[in-house]
Every structure is written in structure tokens, then in C-alpha cells.
Amino acid sequence: AAHAEKTLMVLSTYSSTSMEVVKREVPDGLFWFQVQFAVDRDLTRSLVRRAERSGYRALVVTVDSPVLGKNVDAVMRRFYMHDGIRFGNLEASPENKSANVKAMVSVRDAHIDPSQSWDDITWLKSITSLPLVLKGITNAEDAEEAISRGASAILVSNHGGRLLDGLPATIEVLPEVVSAVRGRVEVYVDGGVRHGTDVIKALALGAKAVFVGRPTIWGLAYNGEAGVRQMLAILRREVDRDLALMGNCFLQTPLQQVKTIRDRTRMHKA
């Protein structure tokens, strides 16, 4: 669906389908691979090598989840995974082959290294030629450190707000990160993108691109691949329409000059 709609897809380490199978099914697709630091660094190295061989174009390194948070929303909704689902990229694990959900969760929990640090970014940079996109940066200090460690891009993200309660919205911290980066690397953002106006606001605040998560799942649940394509098409149409309604249909006016009603209210009160 992403390839058909001319956009990229980030494949998770914990995908139920391996990176090789995904790339084989869509050989011309633009794919990035999400990775977290494993307790066993040889496993991390192996995943990186596989991503390189499979033709993935970048590594999206999750840096804000050294441990797993409690997903209260999932608990309240009584969400659970069915037995039979496995981590396609971790097939070598005996627990993973058991196809038991509890064993699956134990594999994931044991896989993530809680002691990871900035030095691990330096190490990862040293073992691959793929660009590193650091996901989970939400302040200027971390943005500076990310660049000094060799990040090629920064993805402002708070994991959808589902792991740590009380985090600021990504749209609120985006300007701080963009200001700190000063154009040295590209800045992306995710979290809460539901409408074309959300995309426009992010671009106006300096993001180079916007990523969507939950809407992809909703589209998939609604109608499979066609549902995801429909979701992406709707989002694109909304962006085009809303830019036209703003008199900015050809991006001739710098988006940074765009002010929302909330911005104007603040200016008036000041």
C-alpha cells in the first residue's frame, strides 16, 4: 500500500513478517528498518546486516524505550494478541517458535537492553553505512547529542503517548527541536496525525515529513491493503484541499508564516 501510494514504510523489528519477505514481495518499495538495541549486540549487528542485504535504505533507531511502558489503553480495552503470531525477524529464538503469546512477550522484553546509552549510537554508526534516523527525540539537548553522534535525521516522537503518561505532544516540542537542529539534518514528526491540517501544521513548524501510525492500522483493519491506500489518499487530498483553502496551493508562501487561531489568540493576549 505504501509503495502504491508513493511513500515509504518503516518495518518494525517485531513485525510478524520478516524483512526479507516484505522486500521480496515489494522489491521496488522504499523501506526503512526500525531497530532497538538488543542485550546481545551480535543480534543487533545481525539485524542490521540483514537490512543492508535486503535493500533497506535507513535504520530508524528507537531511543526512547529502554524498557517497555504500561499501555493503559490496551489494558482498558482488554487487547491481546492471538497465539500463532510470531516475530518474523527473530525466528532463531526457541521461544519465538513456540507461537505462544506469553513466550512472545518474554522474547521482546528480554531482547531490549535497558542499559543502552549514547555510546551505542556511536557503535551502531561504526558498523553500518545506512543513515541513522533517531526516533524519540523530544528536546534540544538530545537533538544536539544525536547530531554529534552521527544521526542523519531526527524523528520527533513520544511513542504515541502510550508508554509514559504526561509527555508533551510532539507538535509542542517540534519547534524546539527544529530550532536546535538549524537545518543540519532533516527533522520528521509523528503522533496524533489524523487530518491534512495536522500535516500542514507540522510542516509549518519545520518538519520535513510526517509519519502516521494508528491510521495505518485502522485502514488495514477496515479493508486490508486497499484500506491503507484509501487512508493515505484521503490524507493527501486533505492536505491539497486545505492548502488551497489557505491560499497556499502551490506552496508559494512560506509555511512558516502560517498562524493558527491558537497562535493569534496568544499574540493578542500578549
Burial 78-113 (b: 16+ CB within 10 A, else e): eeeeeeeebbbbbeebebbeeeeeebbeebbeebbb
- Helix (H, G, I), strand (E, B), or coil: what is residue 11? strand
- In three state form, how does the secondary structure of 221-250 look? HHHHHHHHHHHHHHHHHHHHHHHHHCCCCC
Q: Is 159 a catalytic residue?
A: yes
- Helix (H, G, I), strand (E, B), or coil: what is residue 251? coil
Given the residues 3, 111, 159, 268, the one annotated as active site: 159
C-alpha cell at 9: 514504510
Please tell me the distance from the alpha carbon of residue 42 to that of residue 47, in angstroms, as a whole number: 9
C-alpha cell at 107: 522474547
- Helix (H, G, I), strand (E, B), or coil: what is residue 220? helix
* Active-site amino acid positions: 159
